[in-house]
Amino acid sequence: MHILITGHRGRLGGRLAELLAPAHTVTGVDLPELDLADPGAVARLADLRPDWVIHTAAWTDVDGCARDPERAMRINAYGTKHVALACQRLGIPLTHISTNEVFDGAKTTPYLEYDAPNPINPYAASKWAAEQIVRELLPQHQIVRLSWLIAHGGKNFVQTVLARARDRQPLRVVIDEIAAPTYNDDLAPALIRLVEGGHFGTYHLVNEGQTTRHALARFVLDRAGFEATPIEPIVLAQYPRPSTVPPRAVLRNQAAALLGITLRPWQDAVIDFLREEGLLKE
Ligand SMILES: NC(=O)c1ccc[n+]([C@@H]2O[C@H](COP(=O)([O-])OP(=O)(O)OC[C@H]3O[C@@H](n4cnc5c(N)ncnc54)[C@H](OP(=O)(O)O)[C@@H]3O)[C@@H](O)[C@H]2O)c1
């Protein structure tokens, strides 16, 4: 199969491209050669004649989106619309990557795939609009939501916490933001199973369980030899930022689990991430 990946230089797109390459013909597109905000350029993707598109590209700077909501809509929502229209013209399926942030975080139990979204920040609003566009335009689609991506080779929460501990900088981490971490190396193969199986619909692919940011930071420090490093517990209200965070946007994988596709508990995934990075103190 010829698979086109948007955002193939990003964290998820890059890993998917590596894993898909042996079995499939993979074409990657990304900034600067493709700007999702340019409808004409996105329409020309159809000239590449893919059999399937996996759309990972997005403006993922959540605070940036809060500062410029119009740009967020242009790239994340309407950029996705142009990708979906190219797929419609070719009559091919689209896998669209979305986020736990489409939910408002008010539910006290984990969100299931068909719970009602209610975005509370501009990044989330642009990603929710993108989901609706994909559903509206393409019968053959997959929408895959994830949260708190932990990936090798990119900046993420785990590396930020460890860098601050190494530099002996004070650590203040929130106790009232709760979600499920998603290890890129678990996510990518699970997503490929959804694609290769032709399983259309909406999915939550996250590692099993849930944690607070604070507990995740403690877990990481304790396993990387920083047991004595303190982390000051704070609440979201003490950490003002341009974007409003959904406090409890925990995703539960029900739809993919029914197909036998699950990700292991987040603790096992984080330990493997640290081991691969050479950071685990065993
Ligand atoms: N990371 C998370 O915790 C998380 C959580 C939930 C959902 N998601 C979703 O998962 C997907 C993949 O996330 P990721 O962390 O792998 O993202 P990433 O590493 O930021 O990769 C996104 C890619 O899209 C590119 N891009 C940005 N603006 C673009 C534009 N206007 N036109 C074309 N390409 C553009 C980026 O290029 P530049 O690097 O040059 O900007 C980058 O290569 C995204 O759709 C994101 O919304 C991520």
State residue 175's pLDDT score. Answer: 97
Residue 141: φ, ψ to 5°:
-140, 160
Two tokens, residue 244: 């409003």
User: Burial of 260 by CB count in 10 Å (0-12 exposed, 13-18 middle, 19+ buried)?
Assistant: exposed
- Collapsed DSSP state (helix, strand, coil) of residue 144: strand
**Is 271 within a domain?**
no
Q: How many structural domains comprise the chain?
A: 1
Q: Are 53 and 19 in contact (CB under 8 A)?
A: no
Interval between CA 9 and ligand 1 midpoint (Å): 9
Low-confidence ranges of the chain (pLDDT < 50): none
State residue 282's pLDDT score. Answer: 80
Ligand 1 binding residues, C-beta < 6 A: 7, 9-13, 30-31, 34-37, 56-60, 75, 97, 99, 127, 146-149, 154
**How far is Cα 29 from Cα 71, in angstroms, rounded to an integer?**
20
**Is 232 within a domain?**
no
**What CATH number should be reported for the domain holding residue 65?**
3.40.50.720
- Collapsed DSSP state (helix, strand, coil) of residue 174: strand
**Is 118 within a domain?**
yes
**Is 245 within a domain?**
no
